[in-house]
Structure formats: structure tokens, C-alpha cells
Amino acid sequence: MFSARTISIYIAKQFSFASISMILALTALVSLFDFIDLLRRVATKPHVSTSVATSIALYHIPNFCMQILPFGILLGGIICFWRLTRSSELIVTRAAGISAWQFLTAPVVCAFGLGLFSIMIISPISSSLFRKAEILDQTYLNTSGGKLSNLSSGSLWVRQSDQGLDYKGVAILHAQSVKVEKNVLHMTGISIFRLDDNDHLLVRIESPSGYLEHQHYWVLNNARSIKPDKLPVNLGTIKLSTNLSLSNIEESFSSPDTLSFWSLPEFIHLLNESGFSSISHRLRFQSLLAQPLLASTMALVAAGFATRSTRRGGVAKMIGSGVAAGFALFTISKVAEQFGESGALPALIAAWAPTAAGLCLAISLLIHLEDG
């Protein structure tokens, strides 16, 4: 038992070093191409310094690292296990009576740990820096006008809880047009429908203009309340409490990558209460939850393809097949992600199905390799 544990720890060290090296190398390569693309965009903006491109590229690195991690583990694992097989270390291990399931336990645990580290530690850093990169991109390189540019001359719909008239009531706010000035959301043509828990209309409030106050209040100017079967009543300027802020509304239109693993559940709940779509955020959260298992799956896939004895021949073909399987799994995950974002698949299935498929493939390969 001591011998099996010692060998497993030795293999885990080799595996961890190869995987981390591959993750760093791939991240550096992707970051280089990203930097070149940013330089190309900066070249079209004479007033923008190249330091902006450098800052954005640096802020993107943690996000790239998280995305590349499963495939860095796959390629690093293939290289590690291929070296151990070529040097006959794995052959000697098996000859000593230690099965693949035993000596792969520690590498799989290491892969799981890397995945866990990425979502618990790297994710908050990645989301914070990615948000800064988006701000720089929109300020200096993007001429579309910011996160709320798609609402210009358009409308805004918000659904939120409203306990002012009913304990379980809701309020639906509609603004015909919105704009952001000095970090304040201004609205015109405002209608607020205050409903009870059975969605029966209690009162409708109309206001020609208003804004979202920093203290989480909708401020409505020259408001009028209209109750069913009653004449309108002038209310003047009123305030309606809300759990939303300008940053919340902006983030609902931003990439889910700007939110960390820890803040996503609360933000998803806020989106659901406010009537915004939370599909992409739920998909992102489930994908992060699946990251440790996906990393472990990639370690098993690497072992299944790269631990074949070199005496059987076809090693290059087997390694190439492992790389192809990894990219096939990546393609399947992206296709499932598109189905999830379109609503055709639940976020849970879209995030976990590719991982489950890869795990079944890896276990099948190892059973065939070990038990023949």
C-alpha cells in the first residue's frame, strides 16, 4: 500500500508540473494573439496609446487561463503519461501489481484540485480584471457607446418585488427611452404597474420623466396614480424603492465573465426578480461548477490515450486521437452552450452533458486498456 501511494504521488507531481506548464504556455500563446489583435484595433485609433492595448491584454490573462485550463490538463497529461510510458515507468508500476486505477487516483485528484482552485481563487480575480478590460475597451476602442447603447431610443422593462401595497406584490416598470449621464440612469415615458401576488392590477403610475437614484430608489417626476375605476390622482415627485442599481442593470447586459463564481448566485436571483434574462449567467455558473469534474475528466482522457505500451506501436496515432478527442469535446461543449443560451436546453444539461460524455469516454478507454 505504501508503494502504491508513493508511486501515485510521484506520478501526480509529474502530472501537475506538465499540466501547469502547458496551461501557462497555452495562456501565453493565446494572450499573444489577443495582444496582436488589440494592437490592430489601436492602430485605427490615433488618439489611443498602445499602453491601453497592453493593459487590456494583461487583464484578459486570468480569463484565458480559466478557459484553457481543461485543455492544458489534457495536453499536459498526454505528455506526462507518454513520457512515463516511454521510459517504462508505468510498465514497471503495473508489473509491481499496481493497477491504473490506483496510480491515477492522485493525478485525478490534482486535476480536480486545479479545477477547484480556478473557480474559487482565479474566478474572482478573472472577473474583476475582465470587468476593467471591458471598461477600457468600451472607453477607448468601442464606438458603440457602452453597455446600455442598445437601449438608446429604445425601451427598458424591469420586474421587481414590491411590498408597498401587497406583501407578495410585484412592480413592473416600463420606460420608453433611457440614457446614462454622470452615472445616473435617466428615463422618459415611465409606466409602473403595481400588482398583487395573483398579478391583479392594484394601481398604475404614469410619469413623463424620472431617474434611478444611487440609494436604490426610482424617482418619478410629476407622477400620476391611476386605480381601476377611479380618476387619476396627481402625486408630484415620488420615490419607489428598488433592489436594483445602475451597476446591476449594466451588468445584466455585460458578459457573465465579469461576475465571479461567488457573486453569480445572488446576481442570478436578482435578475430573475427584476425580469431580466438570466440564461447566460445560469449557464456560466453551471459551467464553473462543472470545471473541477471536467478537469478530472481530461486527466482520465489523457491517461486513456497516452498510457498505451510503446511496444504495441501506433503511439503517435493514439496521442493524436487524444488531442482530437479533447477538441471534439470542446466543440460539443460549445454547441451545447449555444443550445443552452438559446433556451433549447436547460442550463444544467448544457453545462454538464459534455463533461459527462467525456467522463464516460475516459472510463471506457481505461477499462479497455486495463481489463482488455
- Split at pLDDT 50, 70, 90, the class of 59 is very high
Whole-angstrom Cα distance, residue 214 to residue 135?
A: 20
- Spell out the domain ranges in the chain: 2-143+277-371, 151-253
Report the pLDDT value the prediction gives residue 253, as an integer from 0 to 100.
66
Asked if 365 and 301 touch (Cβ cutoff 8 Å), the reply is yes
Residue type, 152: S
Please give the average per-residue pLDDT across 188-195, as a whole number.
Answer: 91
Least confident of 12-21, 316-325, 351-360: 316-325
Residue type, 367: I
Report the pLDDT value the prediction gives residue 1, as an integer from 0 to 100.
45
Q: Answer whether residue 296 shows pLDDT above 90.
A: yes
- Considering only residues 260 and 318, tell me which one the structure prediction assigns the higher pLDDT: 260
Please give the average per-residue pLDDT across 201-230, as a whole number.
Answer: 89
Asked if 164 and 195 touch (Cβ cutoff 8 Å), the reply is no
Whole-angstrom Cα distance, residue 160 to residue 150?
A: 22
- Secondary structure of residue 36 in the 3-state scheme: helix
Report the pLDDT value the prediction gives residue 222, as an integer from 0 to 100.
93
Please give the average per-residue pLDDT across 318-326, as a whole number.
Answer: 79
Q: Answer whether residue 265 shows pLDDT above 80.
A: yes
CATH no. for 151-253: 2.60.450
Report the pLDDT value the prediction gives residue 333, as an integer from 0 to 100.
86
- Give the cell for residue 45: 485609433
Least confident of 1-10, 165-174, 221-230, 299-308: 1-10
Q: Answer whether residue 150 shows pLDDT above 50.
A: no
156-161 and 201-213: which strand pairing?
unpaired
Asked if 259 and 251 touch (Cβ cutoff 8 Å), the reply is yes
Whole-angstrom Cα distance, residue 177 to residue 206?
A: 14
Report the pLDDT value the prediction gives residue 243, as an integer from 0 to 100.
81
Q: Answer whether residue 20 shows pLDDT above 60.
A: yes
- Split at pLDDT 50, 70, 90, the class of 154 is low
Q: Percentage helix, strand, coil, to 5, in the chain?
A: 65, 15, 20
- Considering only residues 289 and 184, tell me which one the structure prediction assigns the higher pLDDT: 289
Q: Answer whether residue 328 shows pLDDT above 90.
A: no
Please give the average per-residue pLDDT across 242-248, as a whole number.
Answer: 79
Please give the average per-residue pLDDT across 207-214, as a whole number.
Answer: 89
Q: Answer whether residue 220 shows pLDDT above 90.
A: yes
Report the pLDDT value the prediction gives residue 159, as an integer from 0 to 100.
82
- Split at pLDDT 50, 70, 90, the class of 47 is confident
Which span out of 149-153, 164-168, 355-359 was modeled with the highest average pLDDT?
A: 355-359
Report the pLDDT value the prediction gives residue 33, as an integer from 0 to 100.
96
Mean pLDDT, all residues of the chain: 85
- Phi, psi for 277 (deg, rounded to 5): -75, 130
The percentage of the chain sitting over the pLDDT mark of 70, rounded to a whole number, equals 91
Q: Answer whether residue 44 shows pLDDT above 50.
A: yes
- Considering only residues 28 and 242, tell me which one the structure prediction assigns the higher pLDDT: 28
- Split at pLDDT 50, 70, 90, the class of 217 is confident
Q: What is the pLDDT of residues 78-137, one digit of tens each?
A: 999 888 888 888 878 877 777 778 888 899 999 999 999 999 999 999 999 998 998 888
Report CA-CA distances (Å) from 258 to 142, 198, 282.
17, 36, 14
- Split at pLDDT 50, 70, 90, the class of 252 is low
- Secondary structure of residue 177 in the 3-state scheme: strand
